[in-house]
Chains A and B, each alone.
Chain A
């Protein structure tokens, strides 16, 4: 027989109630990058807007950085760790795939026995996690969800590639989501374009190292073993990010019933300052909108970039609690997700 199943009962709405970030201690200015590539500080700044980035040391692992950021987000939310019902970790640079790093982070934060898992959605990882977390809360499977974006992209950077050596940084950003009486996260406009999967990609798959003979290991022109790195088709990514993603961002605004004039802040994935500037133009954002430009001193930290930029925007006073912000993540996949949120 078909038994009557009691459905879960969730909160009417969800919202971000706390944010926290962790930036590695070591600051790496462009001068250090230039030791390995034939370029200039001026060239790097004009192409990317990046002046410096943080690179993690051996102790600043994906788990450690996540615990720092997650702990701050929980404190900012004003709840205790054991109230967290789910921990979602978005990353592409945790190199031990099993078990998910989310379980260790959840345990060491003292969250008890929450649902915990990792997701892979490149630079859209945070906004994908935000969307999942919102769904858990409104579905009733969780009251509080910790969403973490964390990367050690310095491990996936070809330090000798003049097109990408300066681009990436390390760090972790986290938010706590909780129930809300009023709508505080809009509909997510998200999707993927798998026909462009080669546009941003890891150069070498991990199983290329699983060879029967060390002579078959992937090597560079000097015979040194090549560790996988991130590579991208710059012009194609730029065109997609600026023009396609501006459309997605506009759709997210429309879906939330919020106009550009209603916005207080714009927090796009920090991929490149030129992309951010062009998106502002394409979206016709008014002058009063505070724009996250964390990339200048943080670089592109993929899944960590939006929560890190959100934390800084709030910490510097450029945006304040209760402000309305447009967030959009986009990257390798290609994947994207955009929504409108009330800032914590």
Chain B
């Protein structure tokens, strides 16, 4: 069953917390991965791969660079699920 937007955000927050040590409550839709959350380009790859596994979606390398904010990633996963 596809995850809801809230479930994706919560799952993503847990992933970002585990990989980059960012408190889950800081992972909000309008936050930029690099500028606000200090997730660097390599950690971003780890976040993406973990998200692919958790939500059973594919996020190709070419699309990763377009995921600037947490909201971008949530929307991408939401769309990729359907």
Give min CB distance, A242 to chain B, whole Å.
8
User: Are B40 and A239 in contact, with the CB atoms below 8 A?
Assistant: no
Give Cα distance in the complex from A235 to B61, angstroms: 7
Q: Which of A46, A233, A242, A243 sits near B40, CB closer than 8 Å?
A: A46
A234-B41, A235-B41 as given contacts; A278 in contact with B46, CB under 8 Å: yes
Which B-chain residue is minimally distant from A243 (CB atoms)? B49
Which B-chain residue is minimally distant from A234 (CB atoms)? B41
* CB neighbours of B49 from chain A (8 A): 239, 242-243
Q: Quick one: which of A261-275 are within 8 Å of B by CB? A: 272, 274
Q: Does A47 contact B (CB under 8 A)?
A: yes
User: Are A236 and B40 in contact, with the CB atoms below 8 A?
Assistant: no
* CB neighbours of B42 from chain A (8 A): 47, 234-235, 238, 272, 274
Q: Does B44 contact A (CB under 8 A)?
A: yes
Q: Which of B40, B46, B48 sits near A47, CB closer than 8 Å?
A: B40
* CB neighbours of A233 from chain B (8 A): 61
* CB neighbours of B57 from chain A (8 A): none
Q: Quick one: which of A208-267 are within 8 Å of B by CB? A: 233-236, 238-239, 242-243
Give Cα distance in the complex from A194 to B42, angstroms: 23
User: Are B46 and A236 in contact, with the CB atoms below 8 A?
Assistant: no
Residue-wise interface mask of B (39-79) relative to A, using a CB-CB cutoff of 8 A (1 in contact, 0 not): 01110111011000000000001001100000000000000
* CB neighbours of A274 from chain B (8 A): 42
Give min CB distance, B53 to chain A, whole Å.
10
User: Are B44 and A235 in contact, with the CB atoms below 8 A?
Assistant: yes
Which B-chain residue is minimally distant from A233 (CB atoms)? B61
Give min CB distance, B67 to chain A, whole Å.
11
Residue-wise interface mask of A (55-72) relative to B, using a CB-CB cutoff of 8 A (1 in contact, 0 not): 000000000000000000
Which B-chain residue is minimally distant from A239 (CB atoms)? B45
Give Cα distance in the complex from A273 to B78, angstroms: 33
Give Cα distance in the complex from A274 to B64, angstroms: 19
Which A-chain residue is minimally distant from B48 (CB atoms)? A239
Give min CB distance, B61 to chain A, whole Å.
4
Query: Could you jot down 20 A-B contacts, CB within 8 Å?
Result: A46-B40, A47-B40, A47-B41, A47-B42, A233-B61, A235-B41, A235-B42, A235-B44, A235-B45, A235-B61, A235-B64, A236-B61, A238-B45, A239-B48, A239-B49, A239-B61, A242-B45, A242-B46, A274-B42, A278-B46
What residues make up the interface of B, taking CB atoms closer than 8 Å to A? 40-42, 44-46, 48-49, 61, 64-65
